[in-house]
Structure 1
Amino acid sequence: MRRWLTQLRKEQQLTQQQIAEGAHIDRAYYAQIENGTRNPSMAVASQIASFLHINPSLFFTEHLSEPFQTALANSPITLAHCDLSLRYTWMFNPHPDFKMSHILGKRDDELDYNEGTLALMDLKKRVIETKKTQRERIYFPLSDGLLYYDVFAQPLYNQKGEIIGAATASTELPS
């Protein structure tokens, strides 16, 4: 079951029929994709992702290579993509304070409002505007204390070479 997809649909107050129509697929097929009994082709995943403003790779994250998942799971590293509006379209290994189903489609300041989230948003905005990589040390007040992260951000491009957002790799630094 793709709980994140169901949650995202509900948060956007959409029906399965509306998403199916927006993605130009049959509603029953969409329902099977959402409940996990069918996997979409890359073309269909792209159509649904485009309608929902998410990254199509979300449909295939369970198929990431085993070494990649093993190396990064429970590590101090978080990977993410956001669109031009700074809304998350993909994330891997978020801090335990955040649940994937609540992150997608949201901006940092909608998840938590503090100096760290504002600094992260500013960093991503600069990367998108300048189309240049940036690196910054940012601190966040989280449930386990004040955590510092080394955040590397770079522009995210589509296949046509157009900027569509920013990608970040954040590494928690030792206290």
Structure 2
Amino acid sequence: MAYIDRGFYAQIENGTRDPSIHVAKKIANALFISPAAFFSHQIEVLFESSLIHSPIVVAHFDLELKYTWIFNPHNDFDPNDLLGKTDEQITKNDGTIALMNLKREVIETNHIVRKKITFPTSEGFITYDVFGKPILEAGHLIGGTTVSSDVTHLIT
């Protein structure tokens, strides 16, 4: 059990106070949840402030290779227009075909795949180091994630 003061617990419930890591772990264990649930907003703020406008794109895709979430896509794309679509439904070129193949390999092999892929953009050609890995939920494959880092400046 967590054994914390009811007033303190009420502040946590109301969102007016965050528990310490120690207390969060006790409450999470009692409720069978992850302690990260208490700090998800802080984690989100740190993630966003660290990566916004960086040369890194992070995305999730389902078993049909359709985007379910994307963060920080290239300026040529509106993230809201990408959700529920495959790369080839968004635009078709050698880069998107290679990205679809990488995602397909992640799903088919259930393994991490990493490749350099070049895409045509409004700024010219951009090369990304794409890291793809499967996403498992309760031991079942539900899709994958990619982290793409712009490495154009390293290869030109």
Q: Given residue 134 of structure 1, which amino acid in structure 2 is its aligned partner?
A: V
Q: Percent identity between the aligned chains?
A: 45
| TM-score w.r.t. length of structure 1 | 0.62
Q: 1:141 aligns with which of 103, 120, 128?
A: 120
Q: Which has the larger radius of gyration?
A: 2
Asked if 1:171 corresponds to 2:149, the answer is: yes
Separation (CA, whole Å) in 2 of partners of 1:112 and 1:72? 24
Q: Given residue 119 of structure 1, which amino acid in structure 2 is its aligned partner?
A: A
Q: Alignment length, in residue pairs?
A: 114
2:4 corresponds in structure 1 to none
Where do 1:1-175 residues align within 5 Å? 64-158=43-137, 160-173=138-151, 174=153, 175=156
| TM-score w.r.t. length of structure 2 | 0.70
1:4 corresponds in structure 2 to none
Give me the CA root mean square deviation. Answer: 1.5
- Give the 3 Å change call, closer, same or farther, for CA 67–120 of structure 1 in structure 2: same
Q: Given residue 87 of structure 1, which amino acid in structure 2 is its aligned partner?
A: K
Separation (CA, whole Å) in 2 of partners of 1:63 and 1:110? 34
Q: Please identify which structure carries the higher strand content.
A: 2
5+ residue gaps in structure 2? 1-39
Separation (CA, whole Å) in 2 of partners of 1:89 and 1:106? 8
Separation (CA, whole Å) in 2 of partners of 1:152 and 1:139? 14
